[in-house]
Structure 1
Amino acid sequence: MEDTNEIHSMPRIGDIAPDFEASTTFGNLKLSDYGKDSWVILFSHPADFTPVCTTEMSGFAEEKKWFDDHNTKLMGLSIDSIHSHVAWVNNVKKNTGVLFDFPIIADLDMKVSKMYGMLQPGESETSAVRAVFFIDPKQKIRLIMYYPLNVGRNMDEIKRSLEALQTSDEHGVALPLNWKKNDKVIVPPPKTVQEMTERENSDLEMVDFYLAKKSL
């Protein structure tokens, strides 16, 4: 009998990303080696040769240079064989000219899918849902997105989220609703009366003493 706890378990934000070695369209890869000194976006799709997945994988492929420029590597996954992956990559390239120039994990034994909680039995017991894991250069999971089988992801939101995480890390700030690059950021609230007084006399954009914005 299948261990349902294994299927339902999933890493949480702030956890170290579970490491694994897997067969991919770029050969055998180990996550910790692949993501050394860079961000990794690990994302799953339900199946090869399916329409929504094709649009999503093509979207990642078309934005690969953007991700490269943001020190981020892509890694896809589905519960298909390596032969199916390669055939799909070839099919899409022949039909659209788009090459999936990043590794796609062949997760036939569902090892990685179970490790990352990508199998949601209420949705499907044999296909991974559309999960997205943002993993930083310290191998820590920073953001998780989940979508059902029949709804494609939003590439603009994936890119926005990555820029937000990287901006927050670099400048020690928080990002408000709908933040995008070049918008004002939120300065962490004061923790002492002295910091509060200093803030009131600063040139920050003050909504109130606890909510202050600035441009980077």
Structure 2
Amino acid sequence: MLRINDQAPNFNAETTHGKIDFHQWIGNDWAILFSHPKDFTPVCTTELGTMARIEPEFTRRGAKLIGLSVDPVDSHQKWLGDIEETQGAKVNYPIIADSDLAVSKLYNMLPADEPGSSDGRTAATNQAVRSVFVIGPDKRIKMMLVYPMTTGRNFDEILRALDSIQMTAKYKVATPANWKQGDDVIIAGSVTDEEAKTLFPDGWKAVKPYLRVVKQPG
């Protein structure tokens, strides 16, 4: 099973932008890999359109988007037309054609011994292929989310979480519940008070000895 901080498995795959080596495609950027159980499914159509609209927000954060659906490239290309027509946004990021189920198995979205290919499979048989993986420039998994087919993903939350992950990777802080950009943060538990005096010379509010609140750095 994949866990936080595991290396994101590398793979070669066909996409709507041609063949890629996943790690090479990520390069020195962040990556958001989000998967779909089947083309021409209603909830996924809205999700791909939403990501197309807000892609500049991810780009601004140094993050690339890449979708995945359990169908071949020619099916994806037809679906892209429906997405643009119904959602009012053109998908410019690549979508992986996982018709052999290889990436879904590699990322534990389907059992490793799952037989067959996308032929004859339905969204219901692929329903576990509804994950989001946030991957860092070090090619390690920073966050994983799994959604049921009937619940559209909240991509504002993924942006919020990405902001937190990127900031806490740079500064020795953590973010509290419901944190958003500009809110106060928490000094990491690994930081002693003596070290905190150097890192946060303007001081902090100690709600408890282990709960030290400070203004967002950076």
Provide TM-score, normalisation by structure 1: 0.87
Q: In structure 2, do the counterparts of structure 1 residues 139 and 83 end up closer, same or farther at CA, with 3 Å as the change threshold?
A: same
User: Which residue of structure 2 lines up, in the alignment, with residue 164 of structure 1?
Assistant: 164
Corresponding position of 1:4 = none
Q: 1:35, 1:139 → 2: CA distance?
A: 8
Contact conserved, 1:196 with 1:209, CA < 8 A, in 2?
Answer: no
Which of the numbers 79, 101, 109 marks the counterpart of 2:92? 101
Please identify runs of 4+ aligned residues in structure 1 that moved more than 6 A.
196-199
SS at match of 2:174: coil
- Does residue 25 (structure 1) correspond to residue 10 (structure 2)? The answer is no
2:4 aligned to which of 10, 13, 17: 13
Which residue number corresponds to residue 142 of structure 1? Answer: 142
Question: SS at the partner of 1:63?
Answer: helix
Q: CA deviation at 1:124?
A: 4.5
Tell me how far apart the structure 2 counterparts of residues 96 and 86 of structure 1 sit (CA, whole Å).
15
Following TM superposition, by how much is the alpha carbon of 1:97 offset from its aligned partner in structure 2, in angstroms?
Answer: 3.2
Looking at structure 2, the residues matched to 113 and 84 of structure 1 have their Cα atoms a distance apart, in angstroms, of 18
Shift of the alpha carbon at 1:104? Answer: 0.3
1:170 shift after superposition:
1.6
Q: What secondary structure is seen at the aligned counterpart in 2 of 1:17?
A: coil
Q: Distance in 2 between matches of 1:96 and 1:196?
A: 48
In structure 2, do the counterparts of structure 1 residues 203 and 62 end up closer, same or farther at CA, with 3 Å as the change threshold?
same
Q: How many residues align?
A: 205
User: 1:163-193 CA distances to partner (integer Å, 9 max, x unpaired)?
Assistant: 0100101212111111111111111236668
User: Are the structure 2 counterparts of residues 86 and 184 from structure 1 closer, same or farther at C-alpha, using a change threshold of 3 Å?
Assistant: same
Q: 1:126-137 residue pairs with structure 2 within 5 A?
A: 126-137=126-137
User: RMSD over aligned Cα, in angstroms?
Assistant: 2.4
Q: CA deviation at 1:50?
A: 1.2
Q: Deviations over 1:14-44 (max 9, x none)?
A: 1010000100001001110111100000010
Q: 1:110 aligns with which of 96, 101, 114?
A: 101
- State the one-letter code of the partner of 2:134: F
CA positional deviation for 1:128: 4.5
Partners of 1:46 and 1:129 within 8 A in 2: yes
Aligned to 2:78, what secondary structure does the other structure show? helix
1:20–1:30 CA contact under 8 A, matched in 2? yes
Provide closer, same or farther for how the CA distance between residues 195 and 46 of structure 1 changes in structure 2, counting only shifts above 3 A: same
Match of 1:69 in 2: 60
Structure 1 partner of 2:26: 35
